Structure 1
């Protein structure tokens, strides 16, 4: 088999849209690692994305399309370059605060 014909997963673009700090659309999402009313942790094409706030809700999730719609009171958004598959043996907090 010719190695050049082996298809790699296509890298999707990543976009973050924030409306009035109460609604957000995120594209290029690979996985949702955790979520609760105060924090949502996403693995995106551009690294780990942590959204913090109050009364946060995941309104729509489509991993096939790589899209997540969030709502609530968004206080902060932070990226980390660490990807989940690179550090599977470490716990979540060790990866984020390295």
Structure 2
């Protein structure tokens, strides 16, 4: 790997407690959320949390932290970034 190909990875942490609560760090933005799905832009790419009765309890974009609660069924990542024209294609790429 050449030096210019390296990218500096920022810190991102996902902690899930008993599939009921979650702490996520390295959050850039919350793109959408409802009772069944939360879509976050993180330092490591797009992160989708699926489940039931999901809630965003605490959001601090200054610290890059989000606290979630509900019945967490799955977490999926995508390398798609939500900048510029790519934002229009986020949902189509995540749901292929």
Give TM-score, length-normalised by structure 1: 0.83
Query: Which residue number in structure 1 is paired with residue 4 of structure 2?
Result: none
In the alignment, the residues of structure 2 paired with residue 66 and residue 12 of structure 1 have an alpha-carbon distance, to the nearest angstrom, of 11
* Residue of 29, 38, 41 corresponding to 1:40: 38
Segments of structure 2 that go 5 or more residues without pairing to the other structure are 1-7
Unaligned runs of 5+ in 1: 1-9
Conserved 8 A contact 2:36-2:51? yes
Higher alpha-carbon Rg: 1
**CA RMSD in angstroms, aligned pairs only:** 1.7
Superposition deviation, residue 11 in structure 1: 6.3
TM-score (normalizing by structure 2): 0.84
C-alpha distance in 2 between matches for 1:14 and 1:20: 20
Contact 2:39 2:49 in 1 (8 A): yes
Partner of 1:7 in structure 2?
Answer: none
Map of 1:1-98 to 2, 5 A cutoff? 12-85=10-83, 87-88=86-87, 90-97=88-95
Over residues 63-91 of structure 1, what are the superposed CA-to-partner deviations in whole Å (9 max), with x where a residue is unaligned?
00000000000000000011111503x24
The count of corresponding residues between Structure 1 and Structure 2 is 88
